[in-house]
Amino acid sequence: DRPVSSVALCGGAGDFLLDQVAAYDVYVTSDLRHHPASEFLEKGGALIDIPHWAAEWTWLPVLARRLREAFGDTVETRVSEIVTDPWTLIVNS
């Protein structure tokens, strides 16, 4: 419910950077811990916590394509589609 003009992004677990990203309107990362996230929100920050696997998996097809382009048939690439996030419960409202 507020305007956003700046976003900080850290792939993977990024709550160790909460102090450094306080000047941004929104921080997008993964694996946030309860107390550091709560303290950040109390100071007026906004957080988006993306599941770790989902955040990192998005760039793997790009990397596979770049490896094929760079090395041709000399390197075999496969991107697993097995979801490794431990969070599997979906709640529909």
Give the residue extent of every domain in the chain: 1-50, 52-93
The C-alpha atoms of residue 50 and residue 8 are separated, in whole angstroms, by: 13
pLDDT tens for 37-56 read: 999 999 998 999 988 888 88
pLDDT tens for 20-37 read: 999 999 999 998 999 999
pTM of the predicted structure, to 2 decimals: 0.71
* Number of H-type helices and E-type strands within the chain: 3, 3
Could you name the CATH architecture of 1-50?
A: 3-Layer(aba) Sandwich (3.40)
pLDDT tens for 68-79 read: 999 998 989 999
